[in-house]
Structure 1
Amino acid sequence: MTLARTFGCARFAYNYMLRLRTDAWYQRQERVGYHETSAALTALKKTEDHAWLNEVSSVPVQQALRHLQTAFANFFAKRAKYPGFRRKDGRQSAEYTSSAFKWDGTSLKLAKMDAPLAIRWSRTLPKGAKPTTVTVSKDTAGRYHVSILCDDAVPAKRTANGQIGIDLGLTHFAILSSGEKIGAPNTFRKYENKLAKLQRRLAKKQKGSVRRAKAKLTVAKLHAKVADVRRDFLHKLSTRLINENQVIAIESLAVSNMQKNGRLAKSIGDASWSEFVRQLTYKAEWYGRTLVGIDRWYPSSKRCSDCGHTVQKMPLNVRSWMCRECGAIQDRDVNAARNVLAAGLAVSAHGESVDPMSR
C-alpha cells in the first residue's frame, strides 16, 4: 500500500506541474521552471485538499519534478516530444535518493516503510558499493522491479582472437562471416495468435469492470513475456559475440525508414535490430572491443568476397549467385557478411571511409 500511494503521489505531482507549466505558457506566455514548481508543490502540501501528499516520502514526489524538468529540457533540445501526462494504468515508478533509503549490504528499507523490501535479487551488488539512487517501478504486467544506482568498475576481458562480420536479416536474424546462420526467434510471431485472442476477449469486456481489468492484465503479461524472451535472446547473442571477437563489423541500417514498408514492418519490429546494435555498442565499450559500423550503401551483397567484382543489380529473390569473374558460387548473406568484415577491418586498421562509389 505504501508503494501504491507513493506511485500515486509522484504521478499526481508530475501531472499537476505539467498542467501548471503548460497553462502558464499558453495563457500568459510565462515560463515556469523547476524552482517555481518546487515552491508550488510546497504550497500545495499545506492545503487541506492535498494534505495526503505528506503521507509518503517527499523525495520521490520531489524527484518527479526533476524528471519533468528533464523532459522539458529534452523537448527544447529537440531530443523528444512534448511531455505527456502519466497514466494510472501505465508504468509506475518512484525514485529515492540516498537520504530516503537505508542499505546495510543485504537489505533495502525505503523511507516511511516499516520493514525492508522482500527482494529476489537478480544479481549481487559489487563489494563495497554505495548505492546513491534507488528506483522502484511497477510495469503494466503488475511486476515490481528495483534498480539500484552505484559506482561499478566493469572487469576487463582478455583480448579475443576472433574477427566477425554480421549481416542482419529476417529469415535468419544474423548471418556471420564465418558462415554461421543464426535463426530469427520470431518471438512476437509465435505468440501473435494467442495475443489476438486475448485482445478480442478484452475488447468485449465492459469498461471499468473488474473482469476488464483482469483481461487487461492478462494481455499485459503476455506482452511482457514476449519482450522478456526477445531481450534474453539479444543479450545472449550479443554477449557471445563480444566474448569471442575483438573486432565486430556490422552494417548500419536505417530501421525507421525500413519499417515504412507495410509488408515487412512487423517482422522488422519483432527482430529488434536497433536494440541488438545498442547492446553490442555499450558492451564493446565496456570490454575493450572494436565495433565498426559500415555505411548502409556499401554494396556488400553485390560484391564478390573472393575477387571484388561487383554485380550491377541483384534482386532480393536471388539468394545465391555465381561470380562472372572468378566463378565462385556465393551465398548472398554469407558473402555480404564477409564483405562487411573486410570493410570493417579496413576502417579499424587504417581509418578509411567505406565509400561504395570509390570501390
Structure 2
Amino acid sequence: MEEKVLESRRIRIYPTKDQQAYLTFNMFANIKMWNALLAEVYKPVSELDEVQALPRNKQSKEVYKRIERMSWEEQRDLFKGLRGLSTKAIYDADETVFESGWTLKDADTSMYSYTLRTLKTAMSNHLKNPRHFGIPRFKTTMDVENQGSYTSGAHVCEISEDGKYLRVGKLKRFKLGLIEMANHYPSDGRLYKVTIKHESSDTWYVSFVFEQAEHTVKRPRTGLAAGIDLNVTGNSHIVLQDGTRYQLPYDKIRKLEQKIEKENVKRSRKYEQWKKEVAIIEEDNKKSLIPKHVPTLAERSNYQKNKKKIAKLHLRIKNLKKDYIKKTCSKLANEYDVIVMEDLAVSDMEKNKYRARAITRSNFREIRDTLTYMMDWADKKIVFIDRWSPTSKRCHTCGYIKHNLKLSDRKWTCPICNSHHDQDINAAKNILDEGLDLLDKMNDSCKKCGHERTVITTDEKWTCTKCGAKNKTTPKEENSSDVA
C-alpha cells in the first residue's frame, strides 16, 4: 500500500454577511454539541443531591472539583460513558430554535463527528497525563460572534475548479452561494478535512488538509551542517557558526506596539466611561418605578471598534513574525542537511522578569517547531543538545570554560590560547560540535518501518515521525577520532 502524507493550506476567505451568520451559527452549534456530550458523561456527578443544592452558576465548578478528586480508575469508568453516545440522537432530539431560526439539524452536521472525536482525545490525554492535561470542561458561547472555529468533513466541502471559491456544509441548501477565497497554490491530493476559523480581528480563514503521495516542497541534499544559537541581544536573532545572522523586523514591530499602547489607553478610557454610566443608571433604577436598560459593553460600538483595531494590529505583528520565521527556516532547511540547536526550556526562561518580554517576542518555540517539521519532511536531521551545556562560555579553540562570562560581554578573549571570540558565533560553533557528536551516538532507524530518526535528542526513547512506533536507541561508544 502506497504511503500518504498530510499537508495543510491556510487561506484567507471573504464570506458575505449572510455567510458569516451561518458560519457563526455552526460554531455556536459545535459548542452546544460539545456541552451536550459532556453533560451526558458528567451526569452521574452533576445529578448528586449535593451538587443540585448549589446555585446553577456554581454547579459546574463543584462537578470539576469532584471529578478531579476521583481516582484514576473512577475517572476512567466515568469517561467510558462517552462510548455509547450518538451525536445524531442528540441533534435529532433537540428541538431548540435559535434566534436565527435554525436548529442543530440545520448546522453542518458533519462537524459533530469531529467534536465527538476531539472530546475522546481530550479525555484520553487526561488519563495518560493528568498533570499536563486537565479534565474537559464546558465551553461558553458568549464570544462566538467575535471569534471561534469548527472542523468539517471533506465530503461536504467543494472547491471550484479555478480555486477561487469554496462551498462548506449546507450553504447550497440555504442558497447562500460560494465563499470567495484568496489565491493559493493547489494540491493534487485528496481533501482530508476543512477547518473554518474566525479571529478577533474580524478576519476569516479556512485550513485545508490534503492527503498526498509526497510533500509539495522538495529540498535538495547539500551535505552541510549548521549550528544555530538563538539570542535576544544585539542585532541578531539567529546566529550560525559561519557568522551568518538573521534578525526579526523589530523596527516595524516596535512601531506597531507603540500604536497598540495608544489604542489601549483609548480603550481603557472608554471602559471607565461605560462603568460610570452603568453606575449612574443602576443608582437611578433603585429609585424609579420603571427601570432603564443597563447597556453592556457589546452595545458600545466605539469600544468594539477600538477592540477590533487593536486585534488587527496584533494580527499584523503576528503575520510579520510568521513571514520572517517561515522564510528563514525554509532557507536553512534548503541549505543544510543537519541543523543543531539547544533544547531550550522557553517557559522557564520567561520566568526571568528582566528578559521575559524579549524572550516572548522572539518566538523561540515557533522557530524550533517550524525547523523540526521542515527538516523531518525532507528526511534531514535536526539535533537538540543539552540545554545546560556551557556553549557560550567554552572556548571553541582550546576548550577553556570562562565561568565568569556575562551576557553583556558580547566579545571576549580566551586567557589560555588568546583566541578572540564573538559570544554568539563561538556558541554556535560549540553547538555544532556537540550536535555532531550526539548524532553519531543516537542515530538510528525505526524497528518497524526502517525510517531513519530525523529528530535527534539525548533521550534514548523516541517515536518514529513516519509510522508512530516507539523505539529505544542504545548510545554508541564514543569515537577517539575528532569529528570534522
1:110 aligns with 2:174: no
Partner of 2:193: 133
Shift in Å, 1:94:
2.5
Decide which moves more: 341-350 or 286-295.
341-350
Give how far 1:351 is off: 3.8
Pick one of 277, 289, 293 that aligns with 2:384: 293
Aligned length: 353
Q: Compute the displacement of 1:80 (Å).
A: 2.6
Tell me how far 1:103 sits from its aligned partner: 4.2
Secondary structure, in 3 states, of the residue corresponding to 1:36? Answer: coil
RMSD value, Cα: 2.7
Letter aligned with residue 263 of structure 2 = L
Deviates more, 1:333-342 or 1:307-316: 307-316
Equivalent positions of 1:140-179 (< 5 A) are: 140-152=200-212, 153-154=214-215, 155-171=217-233, 172-179=236-243
Aligned to 1:122: 184
Cα 1:242–1:333 shift into 2, 3 Å? same
Distance 2:398 2:230 in 1: 23
Q: Which runs of 5+ in 2 are unaligned?
A: 1-20, 49-66, 68-77, 275-296, 444-456, 459-477, 479-484
Alignment partner of 1:332 is 2:385: no
Range 159-168 or range 17-26, more displaced:
17-26
Alignment of 1:141-290 (within 5 A): 141-152=201-212, 153-154=214-215, 155-171=217-233, 172-186=236-250, 189-205=254-270, 206=274, 207-208=297-298, 209-290=300-381
1:252–1:296 Cα contact (<8 Å) kept: yes
1:6 to 2:70 alignment: no
Q: Which moved more, 1:271-280 or 1:64-73?
A: 64-73
Q: 1:91 to 1:72 in 2, by over 3 A?
A: farther
Instruction: Note the residue ranges of structure 1 that are not aligned, 5 or more in a row.
Output: none
Is 1:96–1:135's contact at 8 Å kept on the other side of the alignment?
A: yes
Q: Distance in 1 between matches of 2:121 and 2:41?
A: 13
Q: 2:118 corresponds to which letter in structure 1?
A: H
Secondary structure of 1:15's counterpart equals helix
Q: How far did 1:179 drift? A: 1.1
Distance in 1, matches of 2:113 and 2:230, equals: 44
Given that 1:89 and 1:140 are in contact with CA atoms closer than 8 Å, whether structure 2 keeps it comes out as no
Distance in 1 of aligned mates of 2:97 and 2:197: 29
Letter in 2 for 1:157: R
TM-score, normalisation: structure 1: 0.88
In the alignment, which of 124, 129, 135 is matched to residue 82 of structure 1?
A: 135
Question: Which digits, 9 at most, give the CA deviation of each residue in 1:146-166, with x for residues without a partner?
Answer: 111221211542211432111
1:81 and 1:121 mapped to 2: Cα distance?
Answer: 40
Residues 318, 60 of structure 1: alpha-carbon distance in 2 compared, 3 angstrom cutoff: same
Contact 1:96/1:133 (<8 A) preserved: yes
Segment of structure 1 superposing worse, 27-36 or 172-181: 27-36
Partner Cα separation in structure 1 for residue 427 and residue 125 of structure 2? 38
2:91 maps to 1:42 = yes
- Which segment is superposed worse, 27-36 or 204-213? 27-36
Give 1:334 shift.
Answer: 0.9
Instruction: Check conservation: 1:173, 1:185, Cα contact below 8 A.
Output: no
Work out the CA distance in 1 between the residues paired with 2:96 and 2:246: 61
Determine the structure 2 residue equivalent to 1:312: 403
Deviation of 1:116 (Å) = 2.5
Instruction: Tell me by how many angstroms 1:303 deviates.
Output: 1.2
Q: Retained in 2: the 8 A contact 1:45–1:51? A: no
Larger Rg: 2
Conserved in 2, the CA contact under 8 Å of 1:309 and 1:325? Answer: yes
Q: How far apart are residue 306 of structure 1 and its match?
A: 1.3
Q: CA deviation at 1:307?
A: 1.8
Tell me the alpha carbon deviations over residues 129-157 of structure 1, each in whole angstroms, 9 at most, x when there is no partner.
22121111111111111111221211542
In 2, Cα distance between equivalents of 1:24 and 1:40: 20
Deviations 1:301-327 (A, max 9, x none): 111111222223322222222112211
Aligned counterparts of 2:102 and 2:408: Cα–Cα separation in 1? 67
SS of the residue corresponding to residue 58 of structure 1 reads coil
Alpha-carbon distance in 2 for matches of 1:35, 1:144: 35
Question: Does the CA-based 8 Å contact 1:130-1:150 persist in structure 2?
Answer: yes
1:165–1:341 contact (8 Å) kept in structure 2: yes
Q: Secondary structure at the match of 1:307?
A: coil
CA distance in 2, matches of 1:193, 1:51: 44
| CA deviation after TM superposition for structure 1 residue 51, in Å | 6.7
Contact 2:409–2:423, Cα closer than 8 Å, also in 1? yes
Distance in structure 2 (CA, Å) of the matches to 1:350 and 1:70: 35
Q: What whole-Å deviation, never above 9, does each CA across 1:227-260 have from its counterpart, x for those lacking one?
A: 1111111111111111111111111111111100
